[in-house]
Amino acid sequence: MNKFALIGHPLGHSMSPLIHEKLFALSGLDDTSYELIDIAPEDMAKSRGLLESLRGLNVTIPHKQAVIPLLNELAESALRYNSVNCISNKDGKLTGYNTDCDGFLRSAEKLPIGGNVAILGCGGVGRMIAIEVARHGGNITLAVIPQDFKNAQLLMAEIMSKCSGASIKIVEISALEGNFDLLINATPVGMYPKVDACAVSDKVIENSGSVFDVIYNPIETLLMKKARALGKTAVGGASMLVYQAVKAHEIWYGGKFAAEDIAKIITDVENAVESMNK
């Protein structure tokens, strides 16, 4: 039996088992299991034995950095962010990866991330997205609430150190204006159950060519509804969630998946989210 798991704390309802079990089934791997393992922060440092007992792992909050000292090696993606959300175990050698960036890039591959991009928020996922947009030549306007200005400045300095010549400016989210090829919401505004909230004004949405929202619950946020009502492309977070899992399977055992099969899993996740909210 090849055992895989998601580790984190606390672990509430997770879409990970649904996604990974479907990916294992597509690969014809019947002799596998995927479970959720709750590890308290104070127990993380002594969990190397647990990690070694698993063929592969996903890692979520609060262990994405705390797990690093337990690993033998970090892939370039994990080094880039000093953050691990995927671990492979090859004969006892534990290697950490960051597949969140792959999830974003694959789900946004038809969006103009190399153009003028407004990013709302600068937290964990906002930081990753901002760095990826900069790496792909995008001109970034980082829009944040006043209390996040210091963090935004730190992120700006990090981006400039990683991507020399990057174009980035910081504005208060309530003062965001201008024309953007892509508007990205990396805040929790609009997340279930506060589904009637939208992080920006209608004017900002009108002046944006397309929208990406990291939120996957609800599957269509108010931001996305408003963008689609204007005939704009809007992509939600379910695709990012599935694609980061797909990358994990590619790492763990060289999994290969057809685009139509991945699209069906994204739909399955969206249906599961909708059922969960009823």
Domain shared by 118 and 83, yes or no: no
For the annotated catalytic residues, the residue numbers are 64
pLDDT, position 44? 97
Domain region containing 83: 2-98+239-277
Domain shared by 209 and 245, yes or no: no
Domain shared by 28 and 146, yes or no: no
Residue 139 predicted with pLDDT over 90: yes
Domain shared by 43 and 127, yes or no: no
Yes or no: say if 98 and 80 are a contact pair by the CB < 8 Å rule: yes
Yes or no: say if 130 and 187 are a contact pair by the CB < 8 Å rule: no
Domain shared by 211 and 191, yes or no: yes
Q: Return the closest-CA partner of residue 24 out of 248, 272, 238.
A: 248
Residue 278 predicted with pLDDT over 90: no
Domain shared by 227 and 115, yes or no: yes
List alpha helices for 82-180, DSSP H. Answer: 100-107, 124-135, 149-162
Burial class, 202, CB count within 10 angstroms (exposed 0-12 / middle 13-18 / buried 19+): exposed
- Report yes or no on whether pTM surpasses 0.85: yes
Yes or no: say if 143 and 172 are a contact pair by the CB < 8 Å rule: yes
Residue 1 predicted with pLDDT over 90: no
Q: How confident is the model at residue 274 (pLDDT cuts 50, 70, 90)?
A: very high
Angle at which helix 124-135 crosses helix 149-162, to 10 degrees, equals 30
Q: In the chain, pLDDT over 70 holds for what percent of residues?
A: 100
Q: Return the closest-CA partner of residue 246 out of 104, 117, 77.
A: 104
- Count of domains for the chain: 2
Domain shared by 106 and 231, yes or no: yes
Q: In CATH, what number is assigned to the domain containing residue 206?
A: 3.40.50.720
**What mean pLDDT comes out for the span 118-145?**
97
Domain shared by 243 and 229, yes or no: no
What is the distance between the terminal CA atoms of the chain, rounded to a whole angstrom?
36
Domain shared by 50 and 115, yes or no: no
pLDDT, position 203? 98
Q: In the chain, pLDDT over 90 holds for what percent of residues?
A: 97
Domain shared by 205 and 138, yes or no: yes
How many residues are listed for the chain in this entry?
278
Give the tens place of pLDDT for each residue, 78-126: 999 999 999 999 999 999 999 999 999 999 999 999 999 999 999 999 9
Domain shared by 107 and 204, yes or no: yes
Residue 12 predicted with pLDDT over 90: no
Q: How confident is the model at residue 13 (pLDDT cuts 50, 70, 90)?
A: confident
